[in-house]
Amino acid sequence: MSEYPRYGQDEPYEPYPQYGQYPQYGQYPQSEQYPQYPPYQQYLRYEQYEQASRLVRPFTITGGRTEPSRNIFTLITIVTATASVRAGPGLQREHLRALDLCAAPAAVAEIAAHLDLPVAVTKILLSDLLDQGRITATAPAQGSGGPDIALLEKVRDGLARL
Amino acid sequence: MPGSDTDAPSAVKILVSGGFGVGKTTLVRSISEIAPLRTEEVLTASGADVDDLCGIEEKTTTTVALDFGRITLFPDLVLYLFGTPGQQRFWFMWDDLALGALGGIVLVDTRRIDVSFSAIDFFEKRGIPFIVAANCFDGRQAYTAGQVRQALALGPDIQLHAFDARDRVSCRDTLRTLVDHLVERVSRTP
Q: In this predicted model, which residue has the larger pLDDT, B1 or B136?
A: B136
Interface test with A, best of B34, B73, B130, B168 (most A CBs within 10 A): B73
B35: closest chain A residue by CA:
A110
Per-residue confidence band for B111, with pLDDT thresholds at 50, 70 and 90: confident
Report DSSP state, residue A29: -
How far is the alpha carbon of B48 from chain A, nearest alpha carbon, in Å? 20
What pLDDT sits at residue A93?
84
Domains of chain B: 10-188 (3.40.50.300)
- Sequence-ordered list of residues with C-beta below 8 angstroms from that of A147, at least 6 positions apart, any chain: B102, B129, B182, B185, B186
Question: B12-29, pLDDT tens digit by residue?
Answer: 999 999 888 888 999 999
3 state SS of B145: helix
Question: A90-143, pLDDT tens digit by residue?
Answer: 788 888 899 999 999 999 999 999 998 889 899 999 999 998 889 999 999 987
Q: Which of A107, A149, A154 sits opposite B11 (nearest CB)?
A: A107
What are φ and ψ of residue A98, in 5° steps?
A: -60, -40
| Helix residue ranges, H only, chain B | 24-31, 95-98, 117-126, 145-152, 168-188
Q: Which residues of A touch B83 (CB under 8 A)?
A: none
Mean pLDDT of A32-55: 59
Per-residue confidence band for A16, with pLDDT thresholds at 50, 70 and 90: low
Strands B77-83, B101-108: pairing kind: unpaired
B182 with A147: Cβ contact below 8 A: yes
What ipTM is given for this predicted complex? 0.85
Per-residue confidence band for A49, with pLDDT thresholds at 50, 70 and 90: low
B1 with A153: Cβ contact below 8 A: no
B63 with A80: Cβ contact below 8 A: no
CATH code at A30-138: 1.10.10
Number of CB atoms found within 10 A of residue B102's CB: 22
How far is the alpha carbon of B186 from chain A, nearest alpha carbon, in Å? 7
For A4-8, A65-69, A96-100, A140-144, which range has the lowest pLDDT when averaged over its residues? Answer: A4-8
How far is the alpha carbon of A158 from chain B, nearest alpha carbon, in Å? 5
